[in-house]
């Protein structure tokens, strides 16, 4: 690797930075650039109808500023904006943002597209970076600044005859590759030309058109700019991070600490090259810290659906908050911790969400709990128990988790991940349908009503078959389960003891079934196992559980 081919861009040395001691306390002004920056990065750009669908989604989510395109660049961009206007699709309170280069015929065409819009942000830009001044434009600093100033004059002139309200936004493109003092000089010239004031603010947008350094350096650049404007109150300081180094979200967060008022980004980070800053990620990060993101993200599945249909790009399965698997645990220890954490959260009725491995409650995004634990060869006994309980209501005794977990692991080691249905089918086969070699035919239980008799006061008369041969046995015990065990021992076909018993309701109400669990041990070889029985009658469920256990011991 010829690493000496590359060098670090030295943009700033900020000695007395203040942003590291600050915290994010509120959401920024959000501006979606999905329909412009995001759209131009698509292999197959959106049609007008797809743009309408995406626009409506962005409005529904809660964006108040939406960059809808580059209407002077192509007919489809122009037609889309006209559709929004002519069909009255722009709600009150939503500002449409359009981008244009600072050329007279393009600015004229842009204003034609905006005719009838009540509030519009007109976004002009030109590149100011050292590299582009040299290899693209071959211009001096003064010539580059003149482009920005002349563009501002043109826009200001056109606003005089425009019926709606026009807000100016200026971007020194490739800001991260520009000397900060020169970037400030150009931005100040734009502000002065426009006549910016506290009542007539201008959006100064500082894009990391190419992410060139670590997020802390970008934060230093933003703080320097924020601190050195002649009149900071006439500026809405905006950032437009890209993700070339994979740290776009971090850069945006640190820039907010450094003074940024506004963030431009896209859903799921769609954009040129490695993408723009991901607004979903950024907003959910704030939400997970108890900060109102001022965006409505409680139906993340709908957002994903519209995005994927319009952009023809899948959301990655590991995407923070939105990925299919981000609220899923395969690891056994993770599954166990989630299972316990969820139960404690429900039991304690906590004000604050605190569940291991889950920084956010999936239900707050409209996600389901069913996908939290999925089972493969890396899963543990706790995960299998969680799936059985969350999907089907079976609350296996703790001591039973390993037994059934081992059965499931044997399957997953052969086939990989398995569904909850496969787990339930195996549970049914192993326990609920364990009816060989012993098969229950009928039984009758009678209790001694004397309260003084605390011994074997229950009699059972049970008929069962063993390998097809029918037997009838009568025995006593201190309850139905003990009586049945004694009857089976009396038949001389088994020699067992009962180690544990548990039961619970499968559902609520008088129609709910009962599940019973019996742990038994063979005395001849010390083998232990569980049996499970289900019935509307708890006594019958218990009797079925005993037969399930002895069939698993003697099969």
Q: How confident is the model at residue 452 (pLDDT cuts 50, 70, 90)?
A: low
Q: CB under 8 Å to 33, separation ≥6 — which residues?
A: 67, 97, 240, 264, 265, 266, 271, 276
Task: Say whether both 159 and 55 belong to one domain.
Answer: yes
3-state secondary structure of 458: strand
CA distance 299 to 319: 16
> Does 341 share its domain with 217?
no
State the CATH number of the domain containing residue 547.
Answer: 3.30.160.270
Least confident piece of the model among 301-315, 364-378, 448-462, 493-507: 364-378
pLDDT of 484 above 80: yes
pLDDT digits (tens, 9 = 90+) for 404-434: 989 998 998 888 888 889 999 999 999 999 9
Query: Is 0.85 topped by the overall pTM?
Result: no
Asked, for residue 316, whether it belongs to a domain, the answer is no
pLDDT band at 454 (very low <50, low <70, confident <90, very high): low
Is the model's pLDDT at 371 over the cut of 70? no
Query: How far is it, in rounded angstroms, from Cα 202 to Cα 195?
Result: 9
Residues 212 and 208: their CA atoms lie apart, in Å, by 8
**Mean of the pLDDT values across residues 47-66?**
97
Q: At what angle do helices 538-554 and 480-490 cross, to 10 degrees?
A: 30
233 and 162 within one domain: yes
The answer as to whether 326 is a domain residue is no
Identify the CATH number of the domain in which residue 191 sits: 3.20.20.70
Residue 325 confidence class, pLDDT cut points 50, 70, 90: confident
Q: Using the 3D structure, point to which of 311, 346, 367 is the last residue of a domain.
A: 311
C-alpha pair distances (Å), 483 with each of 295, 539, 553: 63, 12, 19
> Domain range holding 99?
24-311
26, 33 contact by CB (below 8 A): no
Rounded CA-CA distance 365/323 in Å is: 12
Mean pLDDT of 491-509: 89
The count of domains in the chain is: 3
Confidence check: pLDDT of 201 > 50 = yes
147 within some domain: yes
| Least confident interval from 51-65, 154-168, 285-299, 373-387 | 373-387
The pLDDT assigned to 451 comes to 46
Pair 371, 491 in one domain:
no
- Evaluate whether residue 324 is within a structural domain: no
- The stretch 218-235 carries a mean pLDDT of 97
Residue 405's CATH number: 1.10.287.1400
Return the structure tokens found at 404.
């059934």
**pLDDT tens digit string along 103-130?**
889 999 999 999 999 999 999 999 999 8
- My answer on whether 148 and 108 are in the same domain is yes
Q: In angstroms, rounded to a whole number, what is the distance separating the alpha carbons of residues 116 and 89?
A: 12
Tell me how far the alpha carbon of residue 420 is from its chain's centroid: 22
184 and 40 together in one domain: yes
Residue 38 in any domain: the answer is: yes
Regarding whether 242 and 109 lie in a shared domain, the answer is: yes
Which of these, 272, 53, 58, lies nearest to 173 by C-alpha position?
272
| Cβ 208 vs Cβ 247: under 8 Å | no
Say yes or no: 503 and 523 in one domain: yes
H or E, element range at 437? none
What pLDDT does 11 receive?
73
Residue 54 and residue 170 share a domain: yes
- Tokens representing 123 are 């976004």
Buried b (16+ CB within 10 A) or exposed e, 143-170: ebbebbbebbebbeebbeeeeeebbbbb
Tell me, what's the pLDDT at 15?
86
Q: What is the pLDDT of residues 140-176, one digit of tens each?
A: 999 999 999 999 999 999 999 999 999 999 999 999 9
The answer to whether position 142 is within a domain reads yes
Report the alpha-carbon distance of residue 237 to residue 264 in Å, rounded: 11
Q: Is 521 contained in some domain?
A: yes
> Over pLDDT 70: what percentage of the chain?
96
Q: Which H or E run includes 438?
A: strand 438-447
Sheet order of strands, 513-522 included: 496-506, 513-522, 528-535
Residue of 449 and 258 predicted with greater confidence: 258
Helical axes 104-114 vs 141-159, angle rounded to 10°? 30
pLDDT tens column, 327-357: 877 776 787 888 889 889 989 988 999 999 8
Say if residue 302 is in the same domain as residue 172: yes
CA distance 395 to 387: 10
Same domain, 372 and 443: no
Residue 244 lies in a domain: yes
* Region of poorest pLDDT, from 58-72, 239-253, 266-280, 457-471: 457-471
Do residues 215 and 92 both lie within one domain?
yes
Query: Which of 415, 432, 449 represents a domain boundary (last residue)?
Result: 432
The pLDDT assigned to 508 comes to 73
Domain final position from 432, 455, 489: 432
Is pLDDT at 294 greater than 90 in this prediction? yes
pLDDT beyond 60 at 450: no
User: What pLDDT was estimated at residue 447?
Assistant: 84
């Amino acid at each position: 690797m010829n690493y000496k081919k590359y060098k670090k861009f030295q943009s700033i040395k900020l000695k007395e930075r203040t942003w590291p001691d600050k915290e994010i306390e509120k959401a920024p002004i959000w501006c979606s650039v999905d329909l412009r920056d995001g759209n131009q990065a698509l292999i197959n750009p959106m049609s007008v109808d797809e743009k309408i669908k995406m626009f409506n989604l962005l409005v529904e989510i809660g964006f108040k500023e939406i960059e809808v395109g580059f209407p002077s660049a192509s007919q489809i961009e122009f037609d889309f904006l006209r559709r929004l206007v002519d069909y009255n699709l722009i709600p009150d309170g939503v500002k449409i943002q359009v981008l244009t280069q600072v050329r007279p015929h393009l600015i004229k065409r842009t204003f034609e597209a905006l005719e009838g819009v009540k509030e519009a942000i007109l976004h002009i830009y030109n590149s100011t970076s050292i590299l582009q001044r040299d290899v693209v434009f071959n211009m001096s600093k003064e010539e580059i600044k003149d482009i920005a100033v002349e563009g501002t004059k043109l826009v200001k002139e056109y606003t005089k005859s425009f019926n709606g309200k026009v807000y100016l936004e200026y971007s020194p493109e490739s800001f991260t590759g520009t000397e900060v003092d020169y970037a400030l000089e150009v931005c100040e010239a734009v502000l002065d030309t426009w006549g910016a004031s506290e009542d007539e603010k201008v959006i100064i947008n500082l894009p990391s058109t190419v992410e060139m350094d670590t997020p802390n350096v970008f934060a230093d650049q933003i703080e320097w700019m924020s601190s050195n404007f002649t009149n900071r109150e006439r500026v809405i300081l905006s950032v437009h991070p890209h993700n070339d180094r994979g740290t776009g979200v971090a850069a945006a967060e640190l820039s907010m600490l450094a003074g940024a008022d506004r963030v431009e980004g896209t859903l799921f980070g769609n954009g040129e090259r490695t993408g723009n800053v991901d607004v979903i990620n950024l907003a959910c990060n704030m939400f997970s810290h108890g900060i109102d993101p001022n965006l409505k993200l409680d139906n993340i599945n709908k957002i994903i659906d519209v995005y994927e249909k319009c952009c023809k790009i899948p959301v990655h399965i590991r995407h923070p908050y939105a990925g299919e698997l981000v609220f899923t645990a395969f690891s056994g220890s993770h599954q166990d911790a989630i299972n316990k954490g969820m139960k404690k959260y429900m039991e304690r009725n906590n004000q604050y969400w605190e569940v291991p491995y889950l920084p956010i409650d999936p239900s707050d995004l409209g996600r389901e709990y069913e996908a939290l634990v999925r089972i493969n060869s890396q899963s543990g006994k706790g995960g299998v128990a969680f799936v059985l309980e969350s999907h089907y209501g079976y609350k296996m005794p703790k001591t039973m988790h390993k037994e059934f977990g081992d059965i499931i692991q044997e399957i997953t080691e052969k086939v990989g991940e398995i569904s909850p249905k496969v787990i339930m089918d195996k549970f049914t086969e192993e326990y609920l349908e364990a009816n060989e070699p012993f098969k229950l035919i009928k039984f009758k239980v009678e209790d001694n009503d004397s309260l003084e008799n605390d011994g074997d006061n229950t009699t059972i008369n049970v008929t069962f078959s063993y390998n097809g041969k029918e037997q009838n046995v009568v025995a006593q015990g201190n309850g139905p389960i003990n009586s049945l065990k004694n009857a089976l021992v009396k038949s001389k076909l088994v020699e067992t003891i009962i180690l544990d018993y548990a039961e619970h309701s499968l559902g609520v109400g008088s129609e709910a079934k009962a599940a019973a669990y019996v742990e038994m041990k063979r005395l001849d070889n010390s083998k232990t196992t569980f049996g499970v029985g289900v019935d509307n009658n708890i006594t019958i469920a218990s009797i079925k559980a005993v037969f399930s256990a002895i069939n698993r011991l003697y099969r």
